[in-house]
Amino acid sequence: FAQALNEGDLETAAKLIYGQPDLGVGGVSAVPENAVVWEAFRGSISLEYSGKCSAAQSGLERAGSITTLDFASVMEKLPERTQALLDQSIASAEDLSAIYDENNQFRGELVNQTLREALQQVLSQDAKTLTREVTVKLVKRDGSWWVVPDQALLQALSGVA
């Protein structure tokens, strides 16, 4: 389970969870910006165990910490980065028709391009990680060991703070 998480392979990790629930981690977003953030999140996941497995009422458990991309830090910095890049575009434009449309609104393609660039900058320069303590619980059913996720583990895997 930890190996799959550390490799960013959430599909395999999901198959090791008891009941093999569909966590919705296999799909690719049609919105390119969402796909970029999701790939950054997948690449940021790491699970480190601390201590040894211990007996629990229903099986085994092991404490650890899971580190992931902090979505809140990305969303916090994104507007600021986007605005700064738009301001740069305005300042360096020789012809404002490249910036504004006939209704004096930012051109959609400029906004989309600026958003993608700002997102890349935030992910490479400003994004933080979030580390949470988790307990990975294991239960043996039908001859196999399964991870039984608690709320903290599910929140960490979904990026929910």
Q: Enter the pTM of the model.
A: 0.78
Predicted pLDDT at 20: 77
pLDDT < 70 stretches in the chain:
21-30, 161
Element holding 41 (H helix, E strand): helix 32-44
Name 63's bridge partners: 135
- Give CA–CA dist 64/24, Å, rounded: 24
Q: Locate 151 and state its tokens.
A: 């709320």
Instruction: Compute φ and ψ for 56, nearest 5 degrees.
Output: -125, 170
Q: How does DSSP classify residue 71?
A: H
